[in-house]
């Protein structure tokens, strides 16, 4: 079941088309990663889902209802963190969360305490938010988004400003929320490796267009890895590979470089074959994850090829 | 679906922007106006030349000062309660709540205006009472306490307070054009210098029709500004 669906969604801002013709579906309970370079239109789409921006064309359906320009009741079921986390800076973390809960109409005892512990923001009770570091604000922003245990969680670049440990914590937290509460999570980032670790499904957006949607699982199979060899004598090398790699699944990239995609042969096999045939190897590398390269190709439209 | 009341929203605003700071400011402003009036009294006594001849002069003078000072005060409040949400970006949070945007904005306007009406009435009463007590000792101005004069004075204070708190919406209108705190406050100073200034004892605000008209214009413009807030992009 699709919990969010956009239908030919488009947005013109200051006469520039920042989002065009986006059809995306987010299934209930999944973690959907939204990947794209800065300025691709990720935040704009998120803001349209939250009705902060109104679509110029197309429509958005959330919880099976079309969002109208003046809809707001559905927002009770969505928690969000958009762009830089903003708070009432003169108030403390607890006060900010209290206000949020009251506006959302959510009254559960200990929720604030629990949530602060969940995002690992402890011992900040009497500190005003303006004294917080970016990482702390980011944690508080995530806390605010999830405190009401919403059905949909919209997080725009939530790992910005977090330290490596913080990133791991947030990743585990999101997985837990998805698993234990069945939350549908929409997360955007321009960091490929991070999205890949968190998301079940990824939508790649570039220049306002949804370039591709796929599951992470499938992408990992499709782009399992390759072995890259640099040789002095490429002709002789490829002749040997012809016999060694039965599937012939390899490619001469340049006059020194060959990529072997066949997963059956190992670095050891190749090295052995070249050495026994007296071919000088400049370098040989096993590249495990080509998802990143794949994304870059998607985003750049294949302009950059290694 | 539970509907959140306007009163509740106003309470929330007070929680976000505590009014205690403004109350303190208002007290200081009141004290300053009183001090200014005492100095006028004092010069009158020393120079032997009355600047304030009659009781009515005195009431008018206090009234004008209170109107002017608290109009700027109201603009400062608006610049925090409304413009501040835009300039700090918290409006992006506020408008993702399951509450009508119009209701949120009007709760803010209602809060500031009602705070100002009360403060201005209190300020007038406090300053005039203090001066009355001082005058009892100094006998600078002849005082009559007939009921008719008292009631016209009371009426004047109340209408002026309402009119000037509503005029502050005009400042909010100018501030909203560019979402600028500075524009909000500067516009209040300009309005004060036009409406509130006196020349030869005459001020535009002494004809109550004029401030009421400006107040009406201000409120209309604000209605116009926020008329489409639900359907417009939040910027």
Q: What is the pLDDT of residues A3-22, one digit of tens each?
A: 999 999 999 998 999 999 99
pLDDT of residue A62: 95
The whole-number pLDDT of residue B205 equals: 66
Tell me the average pLDDT of chain A: 88
Mean pLDDT of B135-148: 78
Report the pLDDT averaged over residues B72-85.
95
Tokens 């990239």 -> residue: A253
Does A65 lie at the interface with B, CB-CB under 8 angstroms?
Answer: no
Confidence of residue A212 (pLDDT cuts 50, 70, 90): confident
* A294: pLDDT strictly greater than 80: no
Name the pTM for this structure. 0.84
- In chain A, the DSSP E strands lie at 2-13, 16-22, 25-27, 31-35, 57-62, 65-66, 78-81, 152-156, 184-189, 201-206, 209-215, 226-231, 250-252, 257-260, 281-287
State the complex-level ipTM.
0.86
User: In which band, very low, low, confident or very high, does the pLDDT at B203 lie, cut at 50, 70 and 90?
Assistant: low
Range among A64-78, A235-249, B45-59 with highest mean pLDDT value: A64-78
Q: How much is the average pLDDT of A103-118?
A: 92
Which of B10, B96, B99 has the most A C-beta neighbours within 10 Å, making it the best mutation to test the interface with A?
B96
Instruction: State the Cα–Cα distance between residues A82 and B230, nearest whole angstrom.
Output: 19
What band does B1 get if pLDDT is binned at 50, 70 and 90? very low
Checking if the pLDDT of A265 tops 90, the result is no
Residue B88: CA count within 13 A, CB half-sphere? 17
Can you give the pLDDT at residue B34?
93
What SS3 state is found at B69?
A: helix
The Cα angle at residue B130 between residues B49 and B139, in degrees rounded to 5: 35
What fold does the segment set A2-220 form as a domain?
Answer: Rossmann fold (3.40.50)
Instruction: Identify the weakest region by mean pLDDT among A121-125, A154-158, A200-204, B157-161.
Output: A121-125
Residue B206 burial by Cβ neighbours in a 10 Å radius (0-12, 13-18, 19+):
middle
Q: Is pLDDT of A298 > 80?
A: no
- Examine the pLDDT at A303 and tell me if it is beyond 80: no
User: Hey, is the C-beta of B233 within 8 angstroms of any chain A C-beta?
Assistant: yes
Chain A, nearest residue to B233 by Cα = A53
| Predicted confidence (pLDDT) at residue A221 exceeds the cutoff of 80 | no
| Distance in angstroms (rounded) separating the CA atoms of residues A230 and A228 | 7
- The answer for B 31-50 residues in CB contact with A (under 8 A) is none
> Chain B contacts of A104, Cβ < 8 Å?
97-98
| Residue of B200, B22, B38, B28 whose CA lies nearest to B128 | B38
Residues 81-100 of B with CB under 8 A from A: 88-90, 92-100
Instruction: Measure in Å the smallest separation between the Cα of A118 and chain B Cα atoms.
Output: 21
Query: Which of A294-298, B50-54, B103-107, B179-183 has the weakest average pLDDT?
Result: B50-54
B230:A69 CB<8 A: yes
- The CATH architecture of the domain made up of A224-288 is 2-Layer Sandwich (3.30)
Q: What is the mean pLDDT of residues A113-118?
A: 92
Residue of chain B nearest A84, judged by CA positions = B89
Q: Do B93 and A72 touch (CB under 8 A)?
A: no
Q: What's the confidence (pLDDT) of residue B193? A: 87
Q: Answer yes or no: do A86 and B95 touch at CB < 8 A.
A: no
Task: Give CA angle at B20 (B19, B24), nearest 5°.
Answer: 120
Q: Confidence class of residue A266 from pLDDT cuts 50, 70 and 90? A: confident
**Range with lowest mean pLDDT among A39-43, A100-104, A210-214, B201-205:** B201-205
| H helix intervals, chain B | 6-16, 20-47, 55-78, 84-88, 91-94, 101-138, 147-178, 181-191, 209-226
> Residue A60 forms beta bridges with which residues?
A6
Q: Answer yes or no: is pLDDT of A280 > 90.
A: no
- The top-scoring range by mean pLDDT among A147-156, A188-197, B42-51 is A147-156
CATH 3.40.50.300 domain locations along chain A? 2-220
Q: Which residue of B has its CA nearest to A87?
A: B90
| % of residues, chain B, pLDDT over 90 | 60
CB pair distance less than 8 Å for B92 and A82: yes
| Rounded average pLDDT over B55-66 | 86
CB spacing of B98 vs A75 below 8 angstroms: yes
pLDDT tier for residue A195 given thresholds of 50, 70 and 90: confident
pLDDT band for position B44 (50/70/90)? confident
What is the pLDDT, as a whole number, of residue B157? Answer: 92
Pick the residue of A50, A103, A140 with the most B CBs within 10 A to test the interface with B by mutation.
A103
Mean pLDDT computed over A271-284: 88
Where in chain A is CATH 3.30.70.100? 224-288
Question: What span, in angstroms and rounded, lies between the C-alpha atoms of A147 and A94?
Answer: 12
Read off the pLDDT band of A248 (50, 70, 90): confident
Please state, as a whole number, how many other Cβ atoms lie within 10 Å of the Cβ of residue B84.
19
């Amino acid at each position: 079941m699709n919990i969010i669906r956009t239908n030919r969604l488009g947005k013109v801002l200051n006469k520039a088309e920042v989002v065009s013709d986006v059809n995306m579906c987010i299934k209930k309970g999944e973690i959907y990663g939204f990947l794209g370079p800065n300025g691709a239109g990720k935040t704009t789409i998120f803001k349209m889902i939250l009705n902060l921006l109104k679509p110029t064309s197309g429509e958005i359906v959330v919880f099976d209802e079309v969002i109208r320009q003046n809809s707001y009741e559905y927002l009770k079921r969505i928690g969000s963190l958009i762009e830089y986390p903003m708070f009432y800076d003169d108030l403390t973390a607890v006060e900010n969360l209290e206000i949020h809960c009251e506006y959302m109409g959510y009254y559960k005892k200990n929720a604030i305490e629990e949530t602060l512990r969940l995002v690992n923001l402890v011992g900040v009770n009497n500190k005003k938010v303006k004294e917080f570091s970016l990482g702390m604000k980011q944690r508080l922003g995530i806390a605010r988004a999830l405190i009401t245990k919403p059905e949909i969680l919209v997080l725009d670049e939530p790992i910005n400003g977090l330290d490596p440990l913080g990133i791991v914590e947030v990743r585990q937290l999101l997985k837990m929320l998805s698993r234990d509460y069945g939350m549908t999570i929409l997360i955007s980032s321009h960091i490929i490796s991070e999205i890949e670790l968190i998301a079940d499904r990824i939508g790649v957006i570039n220049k306002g267009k949804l370039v591709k949607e796929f599951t992470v699982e499938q992408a990992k199979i499709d782009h399992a890895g390759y072995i890259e060899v640099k040789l002095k004598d490429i002709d002789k090398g490829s002749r040997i590979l012809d016999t060694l790699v039965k599937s012939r699944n390899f490619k001469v990239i340049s006059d020194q470089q060959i990529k072997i995609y066949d997963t059956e042969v190992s670095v050891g096999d190749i090295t052995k074959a070249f050495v026994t045939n007296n071919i000088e190897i400049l370098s040989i590398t096993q590249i495990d994850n080509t998802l990143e390269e794949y994304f870059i190709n998607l985003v750049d439209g294949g302009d950059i090829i290694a | 679906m539970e509907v959140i009341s306007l009163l509740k929203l106003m309470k929330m605003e007070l929680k976000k922007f505590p009014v205690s700071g403004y109350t303190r400011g208002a007290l200081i402003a009141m004290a300053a106006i009183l001090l200014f009036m005492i100095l006028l009294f004092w010069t009158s006594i020393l120079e032997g030349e009355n600047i304030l001849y009659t009781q009515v002069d005195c009431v008018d003078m206090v009234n004008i000062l209170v109107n002017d000072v608290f109009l700027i005060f109201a603009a400062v409040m608006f610049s925090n309660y409304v413009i501040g949400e835009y300039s700090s970006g918290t409006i992006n949070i506020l408008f993702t709540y399951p509450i009508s945007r119009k209701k949120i904005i009007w709760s803010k306007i209602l809060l500031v205006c009602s705070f100002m009406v009360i403060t201005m009435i209190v300020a007038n009463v406090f300053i005039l009472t203090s001066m009355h007590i001082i005058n009892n000792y100094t006998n600078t101005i002849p005082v009559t306490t007939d009921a008719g004069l008292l009631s016209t004075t009371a009426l004047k204070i109340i209408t002026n307070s309402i009119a000037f708190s509503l005029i502050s919406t005009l400042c909010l209108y100018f501030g909203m054009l560019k979402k600028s705190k500075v524009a909000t406050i500067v516009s209040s100073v300009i309005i004060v210098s036009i409406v509130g200034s006196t020349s030869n004892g005459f001020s535009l605000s002494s004809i109550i029709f004029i401030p009421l008209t400006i107040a009406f214009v201000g409120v209309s413009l604000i209605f116009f500004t926020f008329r489409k807030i639900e359907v417009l992009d939040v910027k």
